[in-house]
Amino acid sequence: MSQNQPTSVTPKYAETILDLIGNTPLVKLNSIGADLKPTILVKCEFLNPGGSIKDRIALKMIERAEAEGKLSEGGTVVEPTSGNTGVGLAMVAQQKGYRSVFITPSKVAQEKRDVLKAYGADVVVSETAVPPESENSYYGITNRLEEAIEGAYQPNQFFNSAAPESHYETTGPEIWEDTAGQVTHVVIGAGTGGTMTGTGRYLHEVSADRESGPVKVVVADPSGSVYSGGSGRPYFVEGVGEDMWPGNYDPEVPDSIHEITDAEAFHYTRRLAAEEGILAGGSSGMALAAALKEAENLTEDDVMVVILPDSGRGYLGKIFSETWMEEHGFDTNAPEPVAPQRIG
Ligand code: PMP
């Protein structure tokens, strides 16, 4: 056998990019939290093909709509989103041969609209200064488009049960399997609540009879959001927290909730890149901040899994920009990286 002979006998590749959604890896943190007792693992959702955890719900919501006959050949996906869900839906719609139309408020950065267009989506811009009940608001335009376009389907990620179910069927089982059932805490930032509800429910159920007790579900919430008792006042961290209670957030699931400031979230987002080599978004730093607070009272036997929903690429002009951080009053002097070593 020549030296260049491959060892595999069958070629290894995915049939389509959609087959690469999910099965994201866990990585241990070696620097941040090294002075704390638990093992802290992060789940790299930014490695999904559309760049975020939202690929999972996009696939499930579209496949559910197909199964229920709500979306079929020639159909169009219509959703008011400019964020990660839009990218996931645009990618899945493109691969399955559907049109997609996204409605975004004018305040949203052009770059975000360009990502959606790159997948072949159409983007409609709504005026920002319009009351929500107006037919020209973000939601008003979405509803009118859904009625006007034949074969249109609006997934509605805030209330679609396929969203938490995708996490119940994939994210939760992956964490259980990859930790060999040793996970004790899962830490999740809540936006629509879909990740928390689905992943949390699965992990509670699967570990219910475990001798060491069931997995604890820890929610990270931006200071100001309703989940941690806020009024809905604004904050900078994106994709998490709410000013209303969406149907996909089940308040029975969390075992604890930590309120996290923008400053804390951005501090740990920057340290993830600088110390662990992990370029993740602001909601990832927020979840990590909550994990570190929870970890203070835990032991060497505890294994925490922190979900990192998206990549830091989308925040280079904000969280990773010294100018933006200083203009908004945030401290950019992250402490010196400590040597990667752990106790216990
Ligand atoms: N982080 C980011 C960056 C997000 O876009 C989202 C989705 N809104 C979340 C966290 C929260 O996920 P979920 O909607 O499932 O609560």
Bridge partner residues of 215 (DSSP)? none
CB-count burial class (<10 Å; 0-12, 13-18, 19+) for 292: buried
* Contact assessment for residue 80 and residue 142, using Cβ atoms and an 8 Å cutoff: yes
CA of 46 to the centre of ligand 1 (A): 12
C-beta neighbour count of 323 within 10 angstroms: 10
Atom index in ligand 1 nearest the CA of residue 238 equals: 3
Q: How far apart are CA 118 and CA 58, in angstroms?
A: 17
Token digits of residue 44: 């790299």
* 49 pocket-lining for ligand 1 (C-beta < 6 Å): no
Atom index in ligand 1 nearest the CA of residue 164 equals: 15
Q: What would the pLDDT profile of 52-81 be if each residue is shown by its tens digit?
A: 999 999 999 999 999 999 999 999 999 998
Q: What would the pLDDT profile of 282-311 be if each residue is shown by its tens digit?
A: 999 999 999 999 999 999 999 999 999 999
CA of 191 to the centre of ligand 1 (A): 5
* Contact assessment for residue 344 and residue 300, using Cβ atoms and an 8 Å cutoff: yes
* Contact assessment for residue 309 and residue 84, using Cβ atoms and an 8 Å cutoff: yes
Indicate the top mutation candidate among 42, 167, 238, 240 to test ligand 1's pocket, ranked by most ligand atoms within 8 A of CB.
240
Q: What is the pLDDT of residue 108?
A: 79
Strand (E) positions, the chain? 26-28, 39-44, 76-79, 99-105, 122-126, 152-153, 185-189, 216-222, 256-260, 303-308
Distances (CA, A) of 332 to 156, 260, 288, 308, 324: 37, 17, 17, 21, 10
Q: How far apart are CA 300 and CA 23, in angstroms?
A: 27
Catalytic residue from among 12, 43, 54, 112 = 54
Chain-centroid distance of CA 302 in Å reads: 24
Q: What is the pLDDT of residue 335?
A: 60
- For atom 4 of ligand 1, which residue has the closest CA? 239
Q: What is the pLDDT of residue 242?
A: 86
How far does the chain reach from its first CA to its final CA, in angstroms? Answer: 47
Q: Give rounded-to-5 percent helix, strand, coil for the chain.
A: 35, 15, 50
Atom index in ligand 1 nearest the CA of residue 193 equals: 16
Q: How far apart are CA 182 and CA 310, in angstroms?
A: 25
Atom index in ligand 1 nearest the CA of residue 282 equals: 3
Q: How far apart are CA 220 and CA 188, in angstroms?
A: 6
Catalytic, 54? Answer yes
Q: How far apart are CA 191 and CA 330, in angstroms?
A: 23
Q: Which residues of the chain have pLDDT under 70?
A: 1-2, 334-344
Indicate the top mutation candidate among 42, 84, 89 to test ligand 1's pocket, ranked by most ligand atoms within 8 A of CB.
84
CA of 12 to the centre of ligand 1 (A): 32
Q: What is the pLDDT of residue 344?
A: 47
* 189 pocket-lining for ligand 1 (C-beta < 6 Å): yes
CA of 265 to the centre of ligand 1 (A): 14
Q: How far apart are CA 123 and CA 166, in angstroms?
A: 26
Indicate the top mutation candidate among 44, 45, 46, 54 to test ligand 1's pocket, ranked by most ligand atoms within 8 A of CB.
54
